[in-house]
Copies of this chain bind each other. A is one copy, B any other.
Amino acid sequence: MLAKRNAFYAQSGGVTAVINASACGVIETARQHKDQIGKVYAGRHGILGALSEDLIDTSKESMSAIAALRYTPAGAFGSARYKLKGLDENRAQYERLIEVFRAHDIGYFFYNGGGDSQDTALKVSQIGVKLNYPIIAIGVPKTVDNDLPITDCCPGFGSVAKYVATSMREAGFDVASMAKTSTKVFVLEVMGRHAGWITAACGLAAENESEAPHVLLFPEIPFEQEKFLARVDEAVKKYGYCAIGVSEGIKGPDGKFLSESGLKDAFGHAQLGGVAPTIANTVREKLGYKNHWAVADYLQRAARHIASKTDVAQAYAVGKAAVEFALKGQNAVMPTIVRKCDDPYKWGIGMARLKDVANKEKIMPRNFIARDGFGITEKCRAYLRPLIMGEDYPPFRNGLPNYVRLKNIAVPKKLDGEFEV
């Protein structure tokens, strides 16, 4: 049995409706193993909390507050878009991490994020060997984009999928009932920078081809204006209206984003948003149909009120499994979701090596996208359907979801110097 040491947990990258459910899984499971894990310290603002020795003592939070994380969206400890450089590029950062970890007797590192974050977890796991500091680093998967490899799906995705499919169905009912004299084309822009999983999920709203959405625009498929307009016109003539789901990341045949703001985030990715009005204007100019557009933006990834019960359960399970892996002495691994059966849906927890996960993006298989590029296949539906199953409503107070705000009490600092992040 390993010596009893403290754990560090941090949230990284864009938050989701269920990343706190993973935090809940980590903390509750750690609390059940007090003989092996001392306290769980959370990084305030993700890894920045470790670098700046700004740690949150989660042991100061009540059982009920931690339990409430299961139904509270976004990052309860603060997340960060901050990518550690390589060990050779910025050795000082890693030495600082070790300094902080040593000062607080941290022997477990749980890092909750997407592909970039799994890369960070991998680098931290390597400190043990390269800088002679014993630490176990486990990744906890999270991303609304559903683009991590190996795992069947990513916690966070199922809830966005349920939100966009529900929203598309509701907006579809709206437009269908008004189309005779008003809006005939509706465009909903959803997230998914390079992978069309969220766009595909919009497709679940339709139970047959007459229902919304009639056209999906995937980042994997180059946008061809003439083909697109022909499809829209066909839908309007056939069904009276056309509902379109579009990924923020669609590109033209030249490979450029249709709507590029020119800004980049800390990972160097372009900051997107606003392709819906571009698409809507094209429809108006070329086809003359009255249209409306919506951009769901953060609403979709924060919508805990309509979270998928399956997603919540999986988010909790990967947090729990991460702690269990660590206690078994596993290092540089990440729990995965393993699909055992589509219908009835059965899943379990597997394990992936971080080196196989880090910095890799899983895009949609071509056979999940209809041959003409504007819809999803039955194979895709079979994959997506279970992920949105079940409702898991948060408690409400005064008519609104009663989400928890933690006390987030800082661990007293033990180090003198400041560290410039």
| Chain A interfacial positions (CB closer than 8 Å to B) | 11, 14-15, 17, 45-46, 48, 72-82, 162, 165-167, 169-171, 173-178, 180-183, 186, 188, 204-205, 263, 265-266, 271, 273-274, 276-277, 290, 292-299, 301-306, 308, 385, 388-391, 393, 396, 398-401, 403
A–B complex contacts, Cβ < 8 Å, 5 sampled: A14-B182, A48-B180, A167-B299, A183-B298, A274-B277
Query: A11 contacts which chain B residues (CB < 8 A)?
Result: 177
A290-B263, A295-B293 known; A400 vs B169 contact (CB < 8 Å): yes
The verdict on A75 contacting B177 (CB below 8 Å), with A166-B305, A305-B306 known, is yes
Q: How far is the CA of A325 from the CA of B316 in the complex (A)?
A: 54
**Residues in B neighbouring A290, C-beta threshold 8 A:** 263, 271
Supposing A165-B399, A170-B302, A177-B74 touch, asked if A297 and B308 sit within 8 A by C-beta, the answer is no
For A390, the chain B residues whose CB sits under 8 A away are 399
Contact A181 B399 (CB under 8 A): no
Give Cα A275 to B401, complex, Å. Answer: 28
When distances are taken between beta carbons in the complex, the residues of chain B under 8 Å from A399 are 162, 165, 204, 308, 385, 388-390
Residue contact B181 to A82, C-beta cutoff 8 Å: yes
Known: A273-B293, A293-B295. A76 touches B398 (CB 8 A): no
Compute how far the CA of A390 lies from the CA of B273 in the bound complex, rounded to whole angstroms: 34
Contacts of A301 on B, CB cut-off 8 Å? 174
Residue of B nearest to A404 (CB): B173
Q: B72, B82, B167, B293: which contacts A173 (Cβ < 8 A)? A: B72
- Bound CA span A166–B204, Å: 24
What's the least CB distance linking A166 to chain B, in Å? 6
A305→B182 contact, CB < 8 A: no
- Complex Cα–Cα for A162 and B11 (A): 29
CB contacts (< 8 Å) of A263 on chain B: these are 290
Partner of A296, one of B81, B186, B205, B299: B299
In the complex, the answer to whether A171 meets B302 with C-beta atoms within 8 Å is yes
The 8 closest A-B pairs by CB, nearest first: A75-B177, A388-B399, A294-B297, A170-B302, A74-B173, A174-B302, A45-B180, A74-B177
Find chain B residues with CB under 8 A from A48 CB: 180-181
**Cross-chain contact B167 with A303 (CB below 8 angstroms):** yes
Query: Is the pair B393, A177 in contact by a Cβ cutoff of 8 Å?
Result: no
A345 vs chain B, min Cβ distance (A): 10
Using CB atoms, name the residue of chain B closest to A11: B177
Distance, CA A371 to CA B171, complexed state (A) = 36
> How distant is the Cα of A407 from the Cα of B274 in the complex, in angstroms?
38
Known contacts A294-B295, A294-B298, A385-B398; A403 and B169 CB within 8 A of each other: yes
Contact pick for A79, options B74, B76, B177, B204, CB 8 Å: B177
Question: Which of A74, A290, A298 has the most chain B CB atoms closer than 10 A to its own CB?
Answer: A298
A173, A265, A290, A306: residue with the most chain B Cβ atoms closer than 10 Å: A173
Chain B residues near A173 (CB, 8 Å)?
A: 72-74, 302, 403
- Residues of B near A271 (CB, < 8 A) are 290
The answer to whether A306 and B306 have CB atoms under 8 Å apart is yes
**Residues in chain B near residue A14, CB distance under 8 A:** 178, 182
- Are B75 and A178 touching (Cβ within 8 A)? yes
Distance, CA A15 to CA B45, complexed state (A): 42
Query: A73 CB to closest chain B CB, in angstroms?
Result: 5
Contact B393–A205 (Cβ < 8 Å): no
Q: Is the CB of A292 within 8 A of B298?
A: yes
Instruction: Tell whether, in the assembled complex, residue A178 and residue B15 are in contact, meaning their CB atoms are under 8 Å apart.
Output: yes
Nearest residue, chain B, Cβ from A161: B399
In the assembled complex, the CB of A21 is this many whole angstroms from the nearest CB of chain B, namely 14
> Do B298 and A296 have beta carbons less than 8 Å apart?
no
Please give, as numbers and ranges, the residues of chain B lying within 8 Å of A17 by CB-CB distance.
170
A181 pairs with B81, CB closer than 8 A: yes
